[in-house]
Amino acid sequence: MHRAGDRELASVPPQGTFIAPAVRVGIADDHPITRAALRCYLDEQAGIRVVAEAASGREAIDLVRTHAIDVLLLDLDMPGQSGIDALTMIKAKAEHVGILILSGYPEHQYAVPLIRNGASGYLNKACEPGEIVAAIHRVAQGARYITAVVAELLASQVITPTPGGAHEQLSARELQVFLKLAQGCSAGEVAAELSLSAKTVSTYRARLMRKLDARSNSDLTYYALKHRLLD
C-alpha cells in the first residue's frame, strides 16, 4: 500500500528530466465564439497554453507587443486593420513569432501569397481540430506547416506554372483588393472595408489592371471566375 506521501513523490519527474515549456499561443479572431472555442480546445492540449486574445488586426499587433507569444493564430477578415495588415507589421517588429493563418477563405485564394509574406502556415477553418494542434507545435519549432493542399499550390507554381496564372504573383494586399473588386465592390467600398484611402485603392486597381491585363472591373470578375477564385 502506498502512502499519500509516496504518491506525491511518485508524481515528481526524476531528477534531470527536461520538461519542455508549453507553447504560448495567441488567438486573433473577431468572432468571440470562435476565440472561446479555440481557447477551450487548445487549453486541453498537452504542451499548449493560450495566453492572450485579440479581436482585430490592431489588437493582434498590440498583443504581440505586450505578451510573450510563440505562435499567433491569425484570422484574415477582421474589422479595421485586417489580418493581412497585422501579418506584415508583426513580422517586421517580431520576426520570432510564428504566425499560423486560420481562415475561412479557401487555400487557393490566399495561402501562397501569405506564406511568401511571412506566414508560417495556412489552415482553412474547416480543418480537423487536431491539425491545428500539430501545426502549432511545428510552427513553435521554427518550421513551416504546409498542408497537402498548399504543397500542391506551391508545387504547381514551381514545377508546372500555368499560363494566365498572373494572380499567383500578386502580393497579399494586391490579391485582397483584387478579390474585393472582382466581387463587385466599388473602390469606395473597398477603401472602407480595408481601412485604406480611395487614392490608395485606385493605385492598387491600376496596378491590378496592368498585371492581369484587364480593362475594367468586369474583366477582373471574369478573371476571378475563370481561375475559380470566387466562391
In a domain, 43, yes or no: yes
3-state helix, strand, coil in the chain (%, to 5): 50, 10, 35
> How many domains, in total, are found in the chain?
2
Per the domain annotation, does 138 fall within a domain?
yes
Give yes or no: residues 147 and 42 share one domain.
Answer: yes
Q: Are residues 134 and 29 in the same domain?
A: yes
Q: Dihedral angle at the C-alpha atoms of 33, 62, 101, 56, nearest 10 degrees?
A: 50
In a domain, residue 10? The reply is no
The whole-angstrom separation of Cα 23 and Cα 110 is 26
Q: Are 43 and 128 in the same domain?
A: yes
Tell me, what amino acid is at 224? A
Q: 122 and 47 share a domain?
A: yes
Q: How far is CA 168 from the centre of its chain?
A: 17
User: What is the per-residue pLDDT for 6?
Assistant: 46
Q: Are residues 66 and 121 in the same domain?
A: yes
Task: State the amino acid at position 31 in one-letter form.
Answer: H
CATH of residue 52's domain is 3.40.50.2300
Question: Within a 13 Å sphere around the CA of 49, how many CA atoms are in the beta-carbon half?
Answer: 10
Q: Which residues pair with 103 in a beta bridge?
A: 124
Last residue of a domain, one of 130, 155, 180: 155
Residue 158 has a pLDDT of 62
Helix pair 32-42, 129-140: axis angle to 10 deg: 70
27 and 136 belong to one structural domain: yes
Establish if 12 belongs to a structural domain.
no
Domain shared by 76 and 179, yes or no: no
Same domain for 34 and 123, yes or no, is: yes
Of 102, 129, 155, the domain-final residue: 155
Residue 1: inside a domain: no
Residue with cell 485564394: 109
Mark whether 73 and 56 lie in a shared domain: yes
Q: Domain limits at 127?
A: 23-155
Note whether residue 3 is domain-resident.
Answer: no
Q: What is the pTM of this model?
A: 0.72
User: Does 151 lie in the same domain as 169?
Assistant: no
CATH number, domain containing residue 216: 1.10.10.10
Cβ–Cβ under 8 Å, residues 132 and 125: no
Where does a domain end: 124, 155, 186? 155
In this predicted structure, what is the pLDDT of residue 105? 86
Digit-by-digit pLDDT tens for the chain (231 residues) are 444 444 444 445 566 655 678 999 999 999 999 999 999 999 999 999 999 999 998 999 999 999 999 999 999 888 777 888 888 889 888 889 999 999 998 888 888 888 888 899 999 999 999 999 999 999 999 999 999 999 988 887 665 554 446 887 788 888 889 988 988 889 999 988 888 899 999 999 999 999 998 998 888 888 887 777 776
